[in-house]
Structure 1
Amino acid sequence: KISGEGKGGAAGFAKGEADVKLVAKDGGTELSYDVEAKVGGKLAQLGSRIIDGFAKKMADQFFSNLQQTLEGPADGEADTGEEPAEKKGWFGRSKT
């Protein structure tokens, strides 16, 4: 489990966590995760669904970067600093 929280005074608070699972699969390790964010105060007035979506996007970006660091760039792809093309790998977000 990866978790974090912060308080913004009058703005409110934000808490988030990702449940991470590692499972041995086909000679490697499959990593899956599910992310949840909670907000309160004025932050919640902005729309907790928007903030939850942003938290999920940030988790996807984190695990994509982790995958690229562990596995390297996709075949035939140079490290240009740009977002990598769709790559089949071991990581995926749970559909829950």
Structure 2
Amino acid sequence: EMAATVVVKIGPIKATFNGEVTLKNLKPPHSYTIQGEGKGGIAGFAKGGADVTLTEDGPDTTVLKYAAKADVGGKIAQLGSRLIESTSKKLAGQFFSSFGEKVGG
């Protein structure tokens, strides 16, 4: 379990979510599940996760694939599902891109 702080802007609302991230279903070196949940004060709450698979693709390459899901509630949920969905996909992409840069060097 790890503490996490995420600042997110969805449409006109910018919120800071404080919460925890947990890795589950660890099956090294093939797959794991990452889950997180946080509260953003008046903005509401967010929770979600991703099922991650890792596949060797040559001696120095690993392919990471993920299927992410998210759920929000409170004031931020009033913004509409299309806006929230596009923002959550963007955030997941940024997270795993940054993860790949850190791990890959």
Specify the TM-score bucket, using the shorter chain as the normaliser.
0.5 to 0.7
Q: Out of 25, 37, 40, which is 2:57 matched to?
A: 25
Give the number of the structure whose residues are more often strand, by fraction: 2
Instruction: Note the C-alpha offset of 1:10.
Output: 4.6
Q: Out of 13, 26, 44, which is 2:45 matched to?
A: 13
Q: Work out the CA distance in 2 between the residues paired with 1:65 and 1:13.
A: 24
Percent identity at matched positions?
56
Gap runs ≥5 in structure 1: 73-96
Q: Work out the CA distance in 2 between the residues paired with 1:9 and 1:71.
A: 36
Gap runs ≥5 in structure 2: 1-32
- Pairing 1:24-43 to 2, within 5 Å after superposition: 24-27=56-59, 28-43=61-76
Query: Number of aligned pairs?
Result: 72
Q: Root-mean-square deviation (CA), in Å?
A: 2.0
SS at match of 1:21: strand
Larger relative contact order (Cα-Cα within 8 Å, sequence gap ≥ 6): 1
1:11/1:66 Cα in 2 relative to 1: closer, same or farther (>3 Å)? closer
Q: Which runs of 4+ in 1 moved over 3 A?
A: 8-11
Task: Determine which structure has more spread, i.e. the larger CA radius of gyration.
Answer: 1
